[in-house]
A and B are shown apart, each in its own frame.
Chain A
């Protein structure tokens, strides 16, 4: 099983639709979770962190389900400008790089969203 798994999509949705992505992770010891957005041929940028209690930022809602080991991202009232690839990021696994003490960060391969006029 991959450490972090995402449906690659693409998800093609009309403007105004609600769309949800899930991301599953394999290590139950993972502690921090994020959603990043990556536009075509650009660098990833943080969209939002994911907290145990869930969090909302405007049209975006992120949730964490530790029992089932997945995080989700919900986008309401989709805009054309939401078209991008959404990367799930998980860190805090028990694996640490030797001598560095750095907790491993794992990026998902991303889910592509295309919002259609």
Chain B
């Protein structure tokens, strides 16, 4: 079955630690995205990538980093510089990067900073 997988589902981190969230898709999509969702707020874009070896900052990129070495993979690192990292992180992909097509989401990772 084609789809997007994210791991882990739940992640606990101590303050000051970096953590990496995995996102893999086998839909052959060119574009991939990372969002964070907080209670009472809409999804906010962290980073996006329209093609391998290229990615761009979204609205709230500070404290995060990404890589896109393979078409299928778009891992997100939450660094210790991110002041309020506890959130629900969603990875998505789409066929094109123009923003006019459906985005398919992974099941998400809930990150809690202890």
A residues sitting closer than 8 Å to B (CB atoms) are 4, 8, 31-32, 34, 41-46, 49, 87, 91-92, 97-110
Asked whether any CB of chain A lies closer than 8 Å to the CB of B58, the reply is yes
Report Cα–Cα, A104/B43, bound state, in Å.
Answer: 12
Contact call B100/A44, Cβ cutoff below 8 A: no
B contact patch SS: loop
**From A103, which residue of chain B is reached at the shortest CB distance?**
B99
- Separation in Å of the B2 CB from the closest CB of chain A? 14
| Cα of A98 to Cα of B57 in the assembled complex, Å | 9
A41: B residues at CB distance < 8 A: 88, 110
Chain A residues closer than 8 Å to B40, beta-carbon distance = 8, 109
A42, B107: Cβ atoms closer than 8 Å: yes
- Which residues of B approach A to under 8 Å, CB–CB? 35, 40-43, 45, 48, 50, 56-58, 88, 90, 97-100, 102-108, 110
Task: Please determine whether A42 and B108 come into contact, CB atoms closer than 8 angstroms.
Answer: yes
B107 touches A102 (CB 8 A): no
Q: Determine whether the beta carbon of B58 is less than 8 Å from that of A97.
A: yes
**Is A102 touching B100 in the complex (CB atoms < 8 A)?**
no
Residue of chain B at shortest CB distance from A44: B105
In the complex, which residue of chain B has the Cβ closest to the Cβ of A8? Answer: B40
Contact A103 B42 (CB under 8 A): no
CA distance A43 to B110 in the complex (A): 11
Give 12 A-B pairs besides A32-B99, A34-B102, A103-B100 with Cβ atoms closer than 8 angstroms. Answer: A8-B40, A31-B100, A32-B100, A46-B102, A46-B104, A87-B42, A99-B56, A100-B97, A102-B56, A105-B103, A107-B42, A109-B40
Q: Which residues of B contact A92 (CB under 8 A)?
A: 99-100
* A91 contacts across to B, CB distance below 8 A: 99-100
A-B pairs with beta carbons under 8 Å apart, 8 shown: A32-B99, A44-B43, A45-B105, A91-B99, A91-B100, A97-B48, A101-B98, A103-B100
CA distance A103 to B102 in the complex (A): 13
